[in-house]
Structure 1
Amino acid sequence: MLPLMRQLRYPTTPSVLKERLCMLEEHEQLVSLVAELDGVVVGTVFLRQHQTHDMPRPVTRITALVVDEKHRGTGIGKRLLREAENWGRERGSSQLLVSVAGENNMSSKSFYEYSGFSCMGYRLSKELK
């Protein structure tokens, strides 16, 4: 899975990635789903379910989705999205959400819109020091 994280430009090491994946096992609201071909991980989607005071039902957020560059355009991303939807639905989520930030992610934005997502609002952030 490390090569996939590097394709997302997530700076990580094998030990840090292992630690974070183990953390997922401890939380019912977090999961990583993977796509394999011939025993090799070629795609993954990380999900987090949460609910706040203003939501009647929880939502599921995609925190990362990546398909190996060699396998993009083969339907793996669509299948991972379908499994993400199923995971959220099974846990009572009312929506599947994703944030796409930056000008370099226009192909990601197009992929999500093609898959039925609607663009609503802006993503804002502030660094805490």
Structure 2
Amino acid sequence: MSVINKMVAPTYDVLEITTVATIVAIICLTPFVVASWHSTLGNVNFRTFSVWGSLLYLGAISTATAFVMWNRGVQLLNAASLGLFFLFQPIVGTLLGWLLLGEQITWFFILGSLLIAGSIWYSIRFS
């Protein structure tokens, strides 16, 4: 996706690229959701505010904002350099879970973070 984004960046706006990518994802993934609806979402009460609020947050704030920012970053930097920042996602997600939700930081997280940081350092240093 980052390579395609970089190729069409001179022609299309970041929001257009993100919108088209989202529409393609919806078209491709909807059959799988419909096929497993009863086993996965059959017991969810979609009439509650907490469900709609969660969907709105995950869709509009968390996902859409992140994709727009990512696609803008791809336009400003080369895809190879930007790809290194993608590795920070699990670290940021876990730290936000710890900060906002009180989740525990384990030794596996610390080890994984060190491995991620080491791989980024290695890629920058020896590329």
Q: TM-score, normalised by structure 2?
A: 0.31
Of structures 1 and 2, the one scoring higher in RCO (CA 8 A, sep 6+) is: 2
Query: Based on CA coordinates, which of the two structures has the bigger radius of gyration?
Result: 2
Greater fraction helix: 2
Greater fraction strand: 1
Q: TM-score, normalised by structure 1?
A: 0.31
